[in-house]
Amino acid sequence: MAISSVTKKSADVASGIAPTRRIVYDIGVAISLAGDLPTRSSHRRHRNVVRVTVIVAVVMLVIGLIALIRAQRINQASIERDGLSRFRDAFRGRYPELLLSRVYAYLAERHGAVGPHYIVNPGDDLEREYGLVDLDLEDAVLVIADRAGARLPRANELDVLKEQVRSVDDLLRYLEPFFRPEVVKG
C-alpha cells in the first residue's frame, strides 16, 4: 500500500499534478476489500468447519437413535411380566409345576428364545408357531418327559398324540398323566 501510494504521488509530482488523497483512499479501500475477499485457505477452513459440524450432527443423531432403541427394549422388558411366570399363571393348579416349566423351556428353546421373557400362550398352535407335527411332535413329547424324569410314553400312546394334540394346552393335557407324582422318577 505504501509503495503504490508513494509511487503514484512521486509520479504525480514529477508530472506537475498535485497529489490527491483520493488515490490513496482508493488504494486503501481496494486493499481493505481484498482482505475481505475469501482466499483459498479460508474456503478450505470454512468447508472443513462445515464438514466437522455435519459429521458431529450425524454422530449425535445416531447415538440418540441407539439410546432410544435401547431404552424402549429395557422398558418393554421391565413392563412385560416374566414369560415363564405368565405361562405358569395361565395353568396354575391344572398341571404340575415340573410339567409347566419343562414344556415352557422346550417351546421357548424350540422357538430360539434365550431368556425367560418368551411368551407361550395356551392356545398357540404347535404346528404353526413351533413347527411341531407328526414325528417332531413325538420327539418333543419324548424329550420333555425325559428331561423331567417322567415316564416315557409307549408307542401305542404316541399314536393317539397326532389326533389329540394341536395346541399348547392339548400338549399339557396329553403329558399330564406321565408327570403325576407316582409316575415321575426320583
- pLDDT tens, position by position, 62-115: 999 999 888 877 766 554 457 778 888 888 888 888 888 899 888 888 877 666
Please write down the long-range contacts of 148-156, taking CB distance under 8 Å and 24 or more positions apart.
Answer: 148/98, 148/99, 148/102, 148/179, 148/184, 149/184, 149/185, 149/186, 150/98, 150/99, 150/175, 150/178, 150/179, 150/183, 150/184, 150/185, 151/178, 151/183, 151/184, 151/185, 152/178, 153/178
Confidence band, pLDDT 50/70/90 cuts, at residue 160: confident
More confident residue, 135 or 74: 135
How many CA atoms lie less than 13 Å away from 179 in the CB half-sphere? 23
- At residue 2, the pLDDT reads 47
Q: What is the mean pLDDT of residues 53-57?
A: 93
pTM of the shown model: 0.54
83-179 CATH fold: 1.10.1200
- At residue 148, the pLDDT reads 86
Q: What is the mean pLDDT of residues 9-15?
A: 53
